[in-house]
Amino acid sequence: MRPTNFFKKEITTIFKELLINDQITAKEVRLIGENGEQLGLMPKSQAQETADREGLDLVLMSPNANPPVCKLMDYGKYKFDTVKKEKELRKNQKTSEIKEIQLSMRIDEYHISFKLKNAQRILQDGDKVKVSLRMRGREQAYSKNAVEIVKKFVADLSEYGTVDKEPAVMGRNVFVVINPKKS
């Protein structure tokens, strides 16, 4: 049996729920006005009356302070604006992917040029390129040649990206990751 919210898309936010109005249990609070002005230390009941008089919410901003800090604000508007900012930040974020290009010991010049064009396009799109060369059978005895092939490939891509570490032999593979150049 499926849970009831199986087809619903859940929107996860990092928004931290703050204590408001009657949820605040402190006896004395430091009150900050709607525009950021200090209203001083006062009992929680007096702070709540001030919030009710101005038609605002009393929001506990810093519960660990001594005494706790509360602010007068329209909590619904604050929550709406915070969620909106989070969505905007998430929308503008670009996650860079690592895309792999595989070479071999017996690769032809035409295929190298073809793979170079693909790597250039990937780097221009802002993604990282992982170049790997797998050595099979007796090719493992010539690992120096494999490293040279990868180094030549990386040298041809030098104007599009930079390498963190030199190509390294790991078992029967030679790996290197190329980061795109910042423009």
Band of pLDDT at residue 5, cut at 50, 70 and 90: low
How far is Cα 65 from Cα 134, in angstroms, rounded to an integer? Answer: 59
Q: Indicate whether 9 pLDDT > 60.
A: no
Domains of the chain: 21-92 (3.10.20.80), 98-180 (3.30.110.10)
Omega within 30 of 0 (cis) for the link into 167: no
For the record, the structure tokens of 151 come out as 């180094």
pLDDT at position 47 is 86
Q: Is the pLDDT of residue 3 over 80?
A: no
Q: 105-159 pLDDT, tens per residue?
A: 888 888 888 989 998 898 888 888 898 988 888 887 888 888 888 888 888 888 8
Q: What is the pLDDT of residues 50-107, one digit of tens each?
A: 888 888 888 888 888 888 888 888 888 888 888 888 888 887 777 778 888 888 888 8
pLDDT digits (tens, 9 = 90+) for 63-76: 888 888 888 888 88
